[in-house]
Amino acid sequence: MIPFVQVMLDPILMDPWHNLSQWIQNGGDDKPTLFAIAHDKPLYEYAGDDAKFNYLFNKAMASDSRLIISVMIEHCKGVFEGLKSLVDVGGGTGTVAKVISNEFPELKCYVLDLPRVVEGLEGSNNLSYVEGDMFKSVPCVDAILLKREDPFYNGNSQLCFHVPST
Ligand X SMILES: C[S@@+](CC[C@H](N)C(=O)[O-])C[C@H]1O[C@@H](n2cnc3c(N)ncnc32)[C@H](O)[C@@H]1O
Catalog residues that contact ligand X under the rule CB under 6 A: 44, 61-62, 65, 90-92, 95, 112-114, 117, 133-135, 147-149
For 128, residues 6+ apart whose C-beta sits below 8 A from its C-beta are 108, 109, 110, 111
49 vs 38: CA distance, rounded Å: 15
Nearer to ligand X by C-beta: 39 or 147? 147
**E strand or H helix at 160:** strand 157-162
Minimum Å gap between C-beta 147 and ligand X is: 4
Minimum Å gap between C-beta 25 and ligand X is: 26
Nearer to ligand X by C-beta: 38 or 47? 47
Minimum Å gap between C-beta 105 and ligand X is: 22
Minimum Å gap between C-beta 44 and ligand X is: 4
Minimum Å gap between C-beta 100 and ligand X is: 12
Instruction: Report yes or no: 107 and 80 within 8 Å, Cβ to Cβ.
Output: yes
Nearer to ligand X by C-beta: 16 or 91? 91
Residue nearest to ligand X (CB): 90
Nearer to ligand X by C-beta: 19 or 95? 95
- For residue 88, give the nearest of 100, 79, 106 by alpha carbon: 100
40 vs 61: CA distance, rounded Å: 23
Nearer to ligand X by C-beta: 38 or 87? 87
Distances (CA, A) of 162 to 46, 91, 125, 148: 29, 15, 24, 14
